[in-house]
A and B are shown apart, each in its own frame.
Chain A
Amino acid sequence: DTGVSQDPRHKITKRGQNVTFRCDPISEHNRLYWYRQTLGQGPEFLTYFQNEAQLEKSRLLSNRFSAERPKGSFSTLEIQRTEQGDSAMYLCASSAPAGGQETQYFGPGTRLLVL
């Protein structure tokens, strides 16, 4: 399967712990996005990479969040000192430049529960 993959699919952690999620994009896609989705809402943009460069960060991305894409392939999203409000689905998407019709393809997401 050559779609976007994410690991782990589920994560339960205690408040104050650090967690790290991984995203593997579609291999020929140089653009990678992270979104957060809380219950009953649509996803919200967190951050964007073009190749290895992090070019955009949302104000939602507090200083406890850090994302990397070291070789322009897979990406990691780390949350330090987790809080209960971080409980959400974290979605990764990838795309290739296509002018206006740049379709983002999503992975299955990582569901985080902070106790």
Chain B
Amino acid sequence: AQKITQTQPGMFVQEKEAVTLDCTYDTSDPSYGLFWYKQPSSGEMIFLIYQGSYDQQNATEGRYSLNFQKARKSANLVISASQLGDSAMYFCAMSALQGSARQLTFGSGTQLTVLP
């Protein structure tokens, strides 16, 4: 079974500063993917960044980077130069083959608030 743990229910960051959102995972599948999604109050889940279990380098997408430490089973999201529009719920998710589907297993999320 797959499990995602996000231990920070809420985080605050000052505008223009960097913030790290924590995520640890557990799986017995050797091949898996790790994702981060952003969910504003409107409800839509917005894909931010992906890291494959066999990727040697940490993924980056603009202001988002993923600090992947495979031995520690952690996949923390780093947001640089925070903006007010970054205030939202952030979910870490893992994709692993379960049956015929690559289901996503989500953590409980971290509510990020960016302060002006």
Contact = CB atoms under 8 A, between A and B. Distances in A.
Given A35-B104, A100-B95, 10 more contacts: A42-B106, A43-B91, A43-B106, A48-B101, A56-B100, A56-B103, A89-B43, A102-B33, A102-B95, A106-B45
B100 to A, nearest CB: 5
Contacts of A65: none
A55 to B, nearest CB: 5
Question: Looking at chain A's contact residues, is the secondary structure mostly helix, strand, loop, or mixed?
Answer: strand
B43 A56 contact: no
A4 to B, nearest CB: 9
Interface stretch (B14-22, B50-58, B62-70, B79-87): B50-58
Nearest to A109: B43
Nearest to B106: A42
B12 interface: no
A72 interface: no
Measured as residues with beta carbon below 8 angstroms from the partner, the interface class of chain A is 20 to 34
15 contacts: A31-B101, A33-B103, A42-B107, A43-B45, A45-B103, A45-B104, A56-B101, A89-B43, A100-B31, A101-B33, A102-B95, A108-B43, A108-B44, A109-B44, A109-B45
Interface residues of B, number: 31
Nearest to B4: A42
A104 to B, nearest CB: 6
Contacts of A85: none
B44 A101 contact: no
A44 B106 contact: yes
Contacts of A48: 100-101, 103
